[in-house]
Chains A and B, each alone.
Chain A
Amino acid sequence: MPGVTPDPQSARLEDPAAETVAPGRGAQLLREITTGNAMISVLAVVAALFLGAVLIGAADPKVQNAATYLFARPGDFGSALWGAVSNAYSALFQGAVYDFDAQTFARAIRPLTETMTMSVPLIFAGLGLAIGFRAGLFNIGAQGQIILGAIFGGYIGFAWHLPIGLHLLLALIGAMLGGAIWASIAGVLKARTGAHEVIVTIMLNNIALYLVAYLLSLKAFQRPGSVNPISPFIDKNAELPLLLGSGFRLHAGFLLALVAAVGVWWLMSRSTLGFTFRAVGANPHAARTAGMSVERTYIWVMGIAGALAGLGGAAQVLGTERVLTGGVAASFGFDAITVALLGRSKPLGTVLAGLLFGALRAGGFAMQARTGTPIDVVLVVQSLIVLLIAAPPLVRSIFRLPDPARAALTGARA
């Protein structure tokens, strides 16, 4: 019977993919972690800052000294602890939001603009990851996607010479393409062979890191007459315009990030594409039964996530740094995972979480410079946030909140 015998190739392609969509306990957990409620996020930050305070106290010499005669004069210990913690956190605040000690208003709000600048790649990449989380894909590859975006956007930015407007537009599109292609590798492999996206994206991160290092060793990417791994400056026409003049680093990438957040909100809540993303993320079996192509959705999701992360790379290279270096992505791609988790995979949440992490990054330096508190405390706080988000029951028990799952369950039964 012609046309009835299925071709064995396609049958083989379908099988592994079918296995990967089985909603195991892991997928359930992932969904809980990535889409829990906002209260948990806020409380996780509070608890992390509190635990950070303990560490600040432990690292402070005065507190250590006062602890030796704790029982003789507990007041000393308390005031030393309070002093150390309040100094460190107020330095963090002054370094991240508003500097009371500054001479001029411009200098006083400079920390805030730094925070906003730092948040741009975090917001872009975080939005991309958030889309993935809601579609059930644990994309760890924002780091590599940022790098690829920076390579594409940067190369177009410094190597081409085009009219104003067009040049920037093409550089941004190039960056999106770069990130999208990189992420799609993981998407296609997952759809076609069932290869797990976590493994593939982690590997792609490393490949991207060495790829940029290699490219910067080529003549085409180096400054004329230099052998340092640093690219020429970005063409003026391809730069993201500064928002507050030359005294501040804040650039139009921040506005683009906010526009992207609105775009992602529309995509996820108001478009048919987002509907499939959410359906596939929440229940791939039902999505498949309703005629959606789970495999095609994976490729779409990764493509869009990569494009957003690529824009984050473009913001770094065309806005903040204005050159392409091997360290262009810093640790933005990894921090973006926390940002998306903390933002509960929602656009607004991701923007707020991005700003918080931008603030921690900007304020951390000031804290170290002014009070000698090691900047590692900031790292610890960030890590604690991840830990606490991943353990909602822990946060609930610390703050004595009811378990929403159980409440919903009994509600359903009644």
Chain B
Amino acid sequence: MRLELRGITKRFGSLVANDAIDLVVEPGEIHALLGENGAGKSTLMNVLYGFYDPDAGQILIDDKVVDFDGPGDAMAAGIGMVHQHFMLIPVFTVAENVVLGHEPTGVAGVIDVAKARAQVKEISDRFGFHIDPDALIEDLPVGAQQRVEIIKALSRRAEVLILDEPTAVLTPQETDELIAIMRQLKEAGTSIVFITHKLREVRAVADQITVIRRGAVVGTVAPTTSERELASMMVGRSVELGVVKDAATPGEVSFSVRDLTVIDAAGVRQVDGVTFDVARGEIFAIAGVQGNGQTELTETILGLTRPTSGSITLDGEELVGRSVKEVLRAGVGYVPEDRSTDGLVSAFSVAENLILDRYDQEPFARGLALDPVRVRSSAVERAQEFDVRTGSVDDLASTLSGGNQQKVVLAREMSRPLRLLLASQPTRGLDVGSIEFVHRRIVAERDVGTPVLIVSTELDEVLGLADRIAVMYRGRIIGTVDAHTHRDVLGLMMAGVPHDEAVAQAAAHQTVLGQADRAVETSSEEDA
């Protein structure tokens, strides 16, 4: 099936989310749609999937104009979509989820479970998915849930499969499996539209790459295009992809976590006997797949959660048992993983957000009275220093882009003398330009001798920033390695494989992205 989008334009009020976009997906092609957050990729796919009506333009399937009134029409025309956030019902089985909405029925409308099961089994076997039709969704790992979504789409005879940021939730090994699946589907004649902002993946898997910036197509290129070129097409200027930093010169250990265990209200050991040290002037990164206890670990360090046992010391002072306010006052700068929930009050102005944890201290307050003039003038300085792009510091934080919001959080947390910088997912959802900025500030903080603790699920970020890396899996630190560890080894460790075994396995089987990594290394050596 040949899919063509011709001149698709979609406006929201004065915002042009898609500006006359042309896209052709040939049969059996993996077509990557590359662009930053907010570039208009998802809008375009929602138009294609019938969620939005385009203001102008046409969708053609096999050169015939089609008109979708909703996802139902799109599905009927052979378009399947796997959303970034899965549309599955956790307490239903795989088979039930797959047939949901078009259940095969027998006598008197009874669902024909056997038929549903057979359907799942057939597709699963055909592509080697290893999915048990009777397993409950909630018991499956994320990668398997994604395969269920793919089965769901294929069971509706999808010939074009849209994958929206499919690798965001996967471990490197799961990503590798997904890439294999995508290639298999391609062999079988299915076309794939692969939406992503990760350059590495695009080059590894795509046949064609269409880059979108600010709602318009910048160009369609071959996967041989270098990462640097792709990045500059995406951003509109040349960017530094790696993190530029000198070797760390670690001082003495000033932040220590010992045997920290956190058991939550449900009795689950979220953090299980975690021990590590961070020295002055080093960036210590905790890598791991989302949901392996990193959130609980950082919240416990901040004092939001009380640990069940263990100790946390900063320059010899015990932090366990202190309130959040006391921990912040002790010199901890905290960048929360979810800035919109924990980092900012979106209904507050930029200036108010910049004093969120210092509003009751000099010079911003005298006694009970706030000093609005000081608050504002300090905010103007901070905004300038941290390059917060806003019309005025009186604008609401909700009007800023994600990158600028994150800069507000950083500006607040880094504008006081720090004894520890704790940053969780510091660049999640940011554009390439902002990532560059955030990384630079974090390295600068390290270089003045502050111990820096980074928690990240992005392997690229961990590899780029860290001086030492600990991998967290199911609440435990499965191993601590140096920054030059290969990504395949780290990826296996993130999936729970101990270090030595991971080294052995990685040597035996290289992932697609790992190979790409090695290729880049060799070519850069040749350049040198």
**Pairwise interchain contact B401-A289, C-beta atoms closer than 8 A:** no
Is B485 an interface residue when CB atoms closer than 8 A count as contact? no
Is A15 an interface residue when CB atoms closer than 8 A count as contact? yes
- A-B contact list, 18 entries, CB within 8 Å: A3-B320, A4-B309, A4-B321, A6-B306, A11-B306, A272-B370, A275-B352, A278-B348, A282-B346, A283-B341, A283-B346, A289-B334, A290-B328, A291-B323, A410-B12, A411-B399, A413-B17, A413-B38
List residues 288-327 of chain A with CB under 8 A from any CB of chain B: 288-293
**Pairwise interchain contact A279-B308, C-beta atoms closer than 8 A:** no
Binds A, one of B65-73, B91-99, B357-365, B426-434: B357-365
Q: Which residues of A contact B326 (CB under 8 A)?
A: 291
Chain B residue with Cβ nearest A7? B306
> CA separation between A274 and B14, bound complex, in Å?
36
Asked whether A286 and B341 contact (CB < 8 A) given A11-B306, A271-B368, A272-B370, the answer is yes
Name, among A273, A275, A282, A289, the residue most crowded by chain B CB atoms within 10 Å (CB to CB): A289
Is A370 an interface residue when CB atoms closer than 8 A count as contact? no
Chain A nearest CB: distance from B411 CB in Å?
Answer: 14
Q: Out of A15, A276, A287, A288, which one reaches B265, CB within 8 Å?
A: A15
Q: Which residues of B contact A273 (CB under 8 A)?
A: 368
Asked whether A6 and B360 contact (CB < 8 A) given A272-B370, A285-B341, the answer is no
**Pairwise interchain contact A291-B309, C-beta atoms closer than 8 A:** no
**Pairwise interchain contact A290-B356, C-beta atoms closer than 8 A:** yes
Chain A residue with Cβ nearest B402? A412
Given contacts A278-B348, A287-B356, 14 further A-B contacts (CB under 8 A): A1-B311, A6-B307, A6-B320, A272-B360, A272-B368, A275-B359, A289-B336, A290-B356, A291-B325, A409-B12, A410-B12, A413-B17, A414-B14, A414-B15
Is B438 an interface residue when CB atoms closer than 8 A count as contact? no
Is B229 an interface residue when CB atoms closer than 8 A count as contact? no
Chain A residue with Cβ nearest B299? A289
Is B113 an interface residue when CB atoms closer than 8 A count as contact? no
Chain A nearest CB: distance from B272 CB in Å?
Answer: 16
> CA separation between A408 and B329, bound complex, in Å?
35
**Pairwise interchain contact B343-A289, C-beta atoms closer than 8 A:** yes
Q: Which residues of A contact B38 (CB under 8 A)?
A: 413
Is B204 an interface residue when CB atoms closer than 8 A count as contact? no
Is A72 an interface residue when CB atoms closer than 8 A count as contact? no
Q: How large is the interface on B (under 10, 10 to 19, 20 to 34, 35 or more residues)?
A: 35 or more
**Pairwise interchain contact B318-A3, C-beta atoms closer than 8 A:** yes
Is B140 an interface residue when CB atoms closer than 8 A count as contact? no
Is B24 an interface residue when CB atoms closer than 8 A count as contact? no
Is B324 an interface residue when CB atoms closer than 8 A count as contact? yes
Q: Which residues of B contact A411 (CB under 8 A)?
A: 14, 399
**Pairwise interchain contact B309-A1, C-beta atoms closer than 8 A:** yes
List residues 263-322 of chain B with CB under 8 A from any CB of chain A: 265, 302, 304, 306-311, 318, 320-321
Please give me the 4 A-B residue pairs with the lowest Cβ-Cβ distance, nearest first.
A291-B325, A410-B13, A290-B357, A6-B306
Is A400 an interface residue when CB atoms closer than 8 A count as contact? no
A-B contacts counted at CB < 8 A amount to 111
**Pairwise interchain contact A287-B368, C-beta atoms closer than 8 A:** no
* Total chain A interface residues with beta-carbon distance under 8 A: 38
Asked whether A286 and B306 contact (CB < 8 A) given A291-B328, A406-B13, A410-B15, the answer is no
Q: Which residues of B contact A73 (CB under 8 A)?
A: none
Is B462 an interface residue when CB atoms closer than 8 A count as contact? no
> CA separation between A411 and B13, bound complex, in Å?
9
> CA separation between A3 and B322, bound complex, in Å?
11
Q: Which residues of A contact B372 (CB under 8 A)?
A: 270
> CA separation between A276 and B356, bound complex, in Å?
9
Chain A nearest CB: distance from B379 CB in Å?
Answer: 14
Is A39 an interface residue when CB atoms closer than 8 A count as contact? no
Chain B nearest CB: distance from A17 CB in Å?
Answer: 12
Q: Which residues of A contact B399 (CB under 8 A)?
A: 408, 411-412
Is B504 an interface residue when CB atoms closer than 8 A count as contact? no
Chain A residue with Cβ nearest B321? A3
List residues 8-27 of chain B with CB under 8 A from any CB of chain A: 12-15, 17
Name, among A272, A290, A292, A409, the residue most crowded by chain B CB atoms within 10 Å (CB to CB): A290
Is B45 an interface residue when CB atoms closer than 8 A count as contact? no
Is B212 an interface residue when CB atoms closer than 8 A count as contact? no
**Pairwise interchain contact B324-A291, C-beta atoms closer than 8 A:** yes
Chain A nearest CB: distance from B334 CB in Å?
Answer: 7
Chain A residue with Cβ nearest B361? A272
Chain B nearest CB: distance from A31 CB in Å?
Answer: 8
Q: Which residues of B contact A414 (CB under 8 A)?
A: 14-15
**Pairwise interchain contact A286-B17, C-beta atoms closer than 8 A:** no
Chain B residue with Cβ nearest A412? B399
List residues 366-403 of chain A with CB under 8 A from any CB of chain B: none
Chain B residue with Cβ nearest A407? B13
> CA separation between A94 and B172, bound complex, in Å?
77
Is B342 an interface residue when CB atoms closer than 8 A count as contact? yes
Chain B residue with Cβ nearest A267? B368
Q: Which residues of A contact B334 (CB under 8 A)?
A: 289
Is B369 an interface residue when CB atoms closer than 8 A count as contact? yes
Q: Which residues of B contact A275 (CB under 8 A)?
A: 352, 359-360, 370
Q: Out of A5, A289, A410, which one reaches B304, CB within 8 Å?
A: A289
Q: Which residues of B contact A4 (CB under 8 A)?
A: 307, 309-311, 318, 320-321
List residues 256-282 of chain A with CB under 8 A from any CB of chain B: 270-273, 275-276, 278-279, 282
**Pairwise interchain contact B308-A6, C-beta atoms closer than 8 A:** yes
